Amino acid sequence: MEDNTHYRHEIGTAGEDIACNWLSKRGHIILERNYRWSHLEIDIISIDAAGIHFVEVKTRKSGIQAPPQDNVDWRKQARIAKAASMYLKSGRGREIAGRECFFDVFTVIFSASGTYETEWFPQAYLPIFY
């Protein structure tokens, strides 16, 4: 069990690294990684010319049955929205006050050969609840 947890953490971190690099190459400045408030977490918080992005990264191995973005259900969206609200209220995001907020999903799927495919879903959802 511990081995599986370690592997999942490694693959998740690798996916977040890929997402940060991908976003940075497209003009995003990474403000936070793995931002935590209480038991809630946001994988990546970035900023670009359009506004602030709260990004959930889903990383999987190939051969999965459902697309990784399908795992960002309404419960997960609500938890991210609550954490984003707390981030904005904390003052840590002072430089982003008044900017548009976006809730994005970024997926990474690793193949058996070690290559990977990425997909970014900007404005994947609008948090109207939490």
Please tell me the predicted confidence (pLDDT) of residue 114: 82
Domain residues for 53?
Answer: 2-121
Domain assignment of residue 14, yes or no? yes
Q: Tell me the average pLDDT of the chain.
A: 88
66 within some domain: yes
Rounded CA separation 74/45 (Å): 19
Backbone angles phi, psi at 104, to 5 degrees: -110, 160
Q: Is residue 129 in some structural domain?
A: no
pLDDT: which is higher, 72 or 24: 24
Is this prediction's pTM over 0.85? Answer: yes
Mean pLDDT computed over 41-61: 94
Number of structural domains (the chain) is 1
Q: Which pLDDT belongs to residue 6?
A: 63
Residue 56, in any domain of the structure: yes
Q: For residue 32, give the amino acid letter.
A: E
Assess if residue 113 is contained within a domain: yes
pLDDT digits (tens, 9 = 90+) for 60-106: 887 766 778 888 999 999 999 999 999 988 877 667 767 899 999 99
Tell me the backbone φ, ψ of residue 99, rounded to 5 degrees. Answer: -85, 155
Is 127 inside a domain boundary?
A: no
Instruction: Provide mean pLDDT across the span 102-111.
Output: 94
In-domain check, residue 59: yes
Of 112, 102, 113, the closest CA to residue 46 belongs to: 102
CA dihedral over 10, 92, 107, 78, signed as positive or negative: positive
CATH number at residue 55: 3.40.1350.10
